[in-house]
Amino acid sequence: MWIKEIIWWDNLKKYEKQAKEWFSRLVRLKGCLETTGSPEYGVCFTCGDIKPFSDLQCGHFISGRGNSLFFEENNSFSQCILCNTYKGGNLKIYREKMIKKFGIKEVERLESLRHIPQRISSENFRILAGEFRGEFKSLTEL
């Protein structure tokens, strides 16, 4: 019985990792295309510095790997490593820019979902990974 549990856990982690990797790539690519028109460079959502795609990260306004907002595109934008990692998301500026972009109601909606956990099956992670990968590929073929 425990072998089935190990296989289930391995599949869950494998597909979860793939979904998160493709989501991150997609968010960063969309950020680059939206801010510079190029897939190679993008603007950090919070500080405004122009960085190569490889130096950008997928920064989340509401952080947390297990919350219901992890795959929410309105919650995720390209950030430089300095803002996302070393400045903890640069959240004061992030929030101000979110309000400008979406309005206070959307920001408060996202904030209200902060502590709601998200349970995703390995099959749903596999589907998400495929969807994010497909959208990424279609944007790079333009």
80-101 pLDDT, tens digit per residue, is 999 999 999 999 999 999 999 9
Q: Is 139 inside any structural domain? A: no
Q: Is 81 inside any structural domain? A: yes
pLDDT band at 65 (very low <50, low <70, confident <90, very high): low
Maximum C-alpha span of the chain: 53
Q: Which residue range(s) make up the domain with 60?
A: 25-124
DSSP assignments along 18-74, one per residue: HHHHHHHHHHHHHHHHHHTS-SSEEE-TTT--EEEGGGEEEEESS--TTBTTTT-GG
Q: Is 78 inside any structural domain? A: yes
Q: Is 120 inside any structural domain? A: yes
pTM: 0.89
Q: Is 137 inside any structural domain? A: no
Q: Is 15 inside any structural domain? A: no
Backbone region of residue 96 per phi and psi (left: phi > 0; alpha: psi in -120 to 50; beta: other values): alpha
Average pLDDT of 119-135?
A: 93
Q: Is 102 inside any structural domain? A: yes
Q: What is the pLDDT of residue 78?
A: 98
Backbone region of residue 103 per phi and psi (left: phi > 0; alpha: psi in -120 to 50; beta: other values): left
| Structural domains of the chain, count | 1
